[in-house]
Every structure is written in structure tokens, then in C-alpha cells.
Amino acid sequence: MAHRVCPWWLGYWLASPMRRWSQDPAQILLPWVREGMTILEPGPGMGFFTLELARRVGPSGRVIAVDIQSRMLDSLRRRAAKAGLLDRIETRLTSAGSMNVANLRGRVDFTLLYAMVHEVPDVAHFFSEVAAVSKPGATVLLAEPTGHVKQPDFDAELQAAAAAGLAIATRPAIPRSFGALLHRTAVS
């Protein structure tokens, strides 16, 4: 599978309020995100899910959004400031080879991997980073768009996640996506 990063300008479409008609962040996140959590969101784009995550974690929680595109993060920060949520969100510019989140080891309660793992060049290393920052029992919501990702590629992502210590707990129904809720099972 080719690993191509979504262009920054497409982020405007991805953050459009019209997208909520088919993929409502509040409904998708409702079962798994609570106040006070520490959330990791790689590839947040311009914050379609990030703002809802920040609302749900409340003033005592934290959302760490990491992206390799500074323009995506700049727009996310502007949108978060306008929504009054910037104090709950930390943005980090990272690289294709590493999220550079080692300082979060064992501190993350929930990770949202929404329509982005297929853009990662080294999926095994990526999932090892996710597992390392996850608390024991932490959850990871993995969703990949059925229009971009084929079932065998999604299955390969699940195998890489399992090798890193992230086991499938359930397969939630997510519109136009393959989905899996993973739990951290082993120390990485």
C-alpha cells in the first residue's frame, strides 16, 4: 500500500461541519472518552475530532495532537482558540519516522487513530509508539476509510497493533470505515 500524506489544503474539507452528517465526532467518541483523560491524537488534521475530544476531557483533561504538517496544526490551534478550547490541547509538530512522544510513556488513557494509519510508512514502529505511551488497559480507537483502505491492509494494521501489545476488544460500527477498539495488554 502506498503511504501518501493527505495534503494540508484538504484539511478544510475534512474539518467541514457538513461532515458531521455522516461522521459525528460526538457520537463516535461518546462511549470511550471521559472527563480528565489524557488523549493522544496523531494526524488530527485541522481538528475535526480534536475539538470534540477537548470538550469531552474537560478542563482537567488533555489532548495531545501530533502531526507532520505545521499548516494543519496552525489551523487546529486557530479553531481551538475560537472555540475556547486551546488550553486543553497541546500540539506537536513531529516527523514521519516518529511521533516523538516518549515523554508520555504510560500516561495516555485513549488514542484516536482516525483515517491516518494508512499514511504511516512504518506501521509496526508507529503502533509500538502508541503502545508505549498507553497506560495498561488504555484504549485505542482505530478507524480507516473503506474508500482508501482495503480489508487486507486493515487486517495488516491490526496484526501490527497486536504485535505491539494492542488487542482487539470490539469492532464498533463506524460509518464508511473499518473500525476496531483496541486495549493495551502488554508492556512494550
Domains in the chain with CATH codes: 25-184 (3.40.50.150)
170-173 own/partner pairs: CB under 8 Å, 24+ apart? 172/31, 172/141
- What are 28-79's pLDDT values in tens digits? 898 999 999 999 999 998 888 999 999 999 999 999 999 998 988 999 999 9
The three-state secondary structure class of 183 is strand
Least confident of 13-17, 102-106, 138-142: 13-17
The mean predicted confidence, pLDDT, of the chain is 88
DSSP designation for 41? E
Q: What is the share, in percent, of the chain residues with pLDDT greater than 90? A: 71
Strand stretches in the chain, DSSP E: 38-42, 62-67, 89-93, 108-114, 134-145, 166-170, 177-184
Residue 13, pLDDT above cutoff 90:
no
Residue 11, pLDDT above cutoff 80:
no
Helix 70-82 with 50-57: angle, nearest 10 deg: 50
Cβ atoms of residues 115 and 154 within 8 Å: no
* pTM score, whole prediction: 0.88
- Cα–Cα distances in angstroms (integers) from residue 27 to residues 38, 49, 172, in the given order: 19, 11, 12
- Cα–Cα distances in angstroms (integers) from residue 12 to residues 18, 21, 40, 81, in the given order: 11, 16, 22, 17
Rounded Cα–Cα distance for residues 16 and 144 (Å):
19
Closest CA to 162 of 120, 124, 132, 133: 124
| Residue position matching grid coordinates 457520537 | 27
Residue 89, pLDDT above cutoff 70:
yes
